[in-house]
Amino acid sequence: MTESDYHRPVMLEEAMTLLNIKKGGVYVDATIGGGGHAQKMLAAIGSDGVLVGLDQDPAAIDHCRGLFQGHRNVILERVNFRDLSFILDQRKIEKIDGILFDLGVSSRQLENTQRGFSFLHDGPLDMRMDNSRGSTAAEIVKSLAARELEQIIRDYSEERWARKIAANIVASRKDSPIDSTTKLASIVAGSIPRKKWPVNIHPATRTFQALRLAVNNELPILQPAFSTAIRYLKQEGRIVVISFHSLEDRIVKNTLADLARGCVCPPNFPVCVCGSAAEIKILTKKPVVAQAQELALNPRSRSAKMRAAERLVYGGTE
């Protein structure tokens, strides 16, 4: 199986350009998935470089073990990227030249009915990236009170009908368990007035997104993971992040802005007394988005936004 059979990488060439890969460098693909970006990274660094690939999905790591079989300079670890520092320290890697985060769900995950990420086909309501641990979406839907469900749906998807959806979930589960993707999708769709359905997406899209984010605790780990990654970057090393919805992109944008800010003294102070120095310079004033040709080949890239930054000289000067 090739990477394109597993998952088509989003904005592949744009990511490689922003990473500015150096031959013989040390690079991390923090969400290796189907290995599409990683294959391109490996070709660019050559046999003298090192590629570290992380993913919490066992199926992704198994796939990449086959894809990169025979490449001794590829390190694969089945972990969440929040464990980046542990892996690098364990491997005695003190600094890296670049790191890529692709925060999307892979086509393989969406199309596997047993994973429960998609409502297009009936399957168990799971949604775990690592399906060997943690609570499933079905367990969350079963156990949480209406108020807690409403908060998850509202906060993690900005769904305006969150209260009605949560109430209908609680009412429906009294009759029978909500343990399949299509059953939940039907409840959500029935909670939103037909004339208020979104034009371009299924009415259950936002609720499924919210539950997936909650199941995998995706948003709270982003800021510390980005900060850790930047700490390991060499001077002029690059961080590139691809996000797929506004909540993720907001965290990416704000984290990079904070680390690029430097002095935080009030503007009326004659000299800096805070001692803060910028750690990075932002390379993307606006997020990079997929171009028309890619959108035609891969419609899932339409919501992707890419941001990048470069590590400054330690101490904050370029």
Instruction: Give tens-digit pLDDT for 181-231.
Output: 999 999 999 999 999 999 888 999 999 999 999 999 999 999 999 999 999
Q: What is the pLDDT of residue 2?
A: 44
Q: What is the pLDDT of residue 38?
A: 98
Give the tens place of pLDDT for each residue, 80-101.
Answer: 999 999 999 999 999 999 999 9
Residue with tokens 């919210």: 210
Rounded Cα–Cα distance for residues 238 and 274 (Å): 26
One domain for residues 32 and 17? yes
Q: What is the pLDDT of residue 318?
A: 43
Residue with tokens 């969406």: 110
- 317 part of a folded domain: no
- 318 part of a folded domain: no
Q: Give the chain's domain count.
A: 2
End-of-domain residue from the set 152, 182, 215: 215
Q: Which CATH number covers residue 161?
A: 1.10.150.170
Strand partners, 153: none
Q: What is the mean pLDDT of residues 154-159?
A: 95
- 191 part of a folded domain: yes
Range(s) of the domain holding residue 89: 3-103+219-311
End-of-domain residue from the set 196, 215, 234: 215
Rounded Cα–Cα distance for residues 98 and 101 (Å): 10
One domain for residues 97 and 182? no
- 109 part of a folded domain: no
Nearest of 215, 212, 189 to residue 202 by alpha carbon:
189
Name the pTM for this structure. Answer: 0.91
